[in-house]
Amino acid sequence: MAQYLVPRPVRRGYEFGAGIGWAEVRILGLGFFVGGGLAAGVGFLGLPTYITAAAFVLPAGAAAGSVLLEINGQRLHRHLQAAGRWRQGPRRRLFSLHYPSEW
């Protein structure tokens, strides 16, 4: 009887565009929601229009920048996630006996 490997089914997430999935849409929505809330709060205070516009654009732009800009082929929020995982990992240090003991 012949034996062969059967690959596991590959689970793919839904993508809205090139690399834009549900996680990216949630981050964009959160940025626009926070920006809208800040703009409403600033508008309620009666501050000038350009401050209201800045209160909306800055959080929304930060969310869009973290999701849409790529650094070395990866999105910024993926880099931040990887940095968080690395920070939570165990620390390993190399101790060598070849160095002088005076330092």
Q: What was the pLDDT predicted at 33?
A: 92
The number of beta carbons lying within 10 Å of the beta carbon of residue 25 is 15
Q: Give yes or no for a contact between 52 and 43, defined as CB atoms under 8 angstroms apart.
A: yes
pLDDT per residue over 14-68, tens digit each?
777 777 778 888 888 888 999 999 899 988 888 898 888 999 998 888 888 877 7
User: Which range (6-10, 15-19, 57-61, 98-102) has the least confidence?
Assistant: 98-102
Closest CA to 51 of 34, 38, 61, 64: 38
Q: Do the strands 74-75 and 70-71 form a parallel or antiparallel pair, or are they unpaired?
A: antiparallel
Rounded (10°) angle between helices 76-88 and 49-68: 70
Q: Mark residue 62 as left, alpha or beta (left: phi above 0; alpha: psi -120 to 50; beta: remaining).
A: alpha
pLDDT at 91 over 60: yes
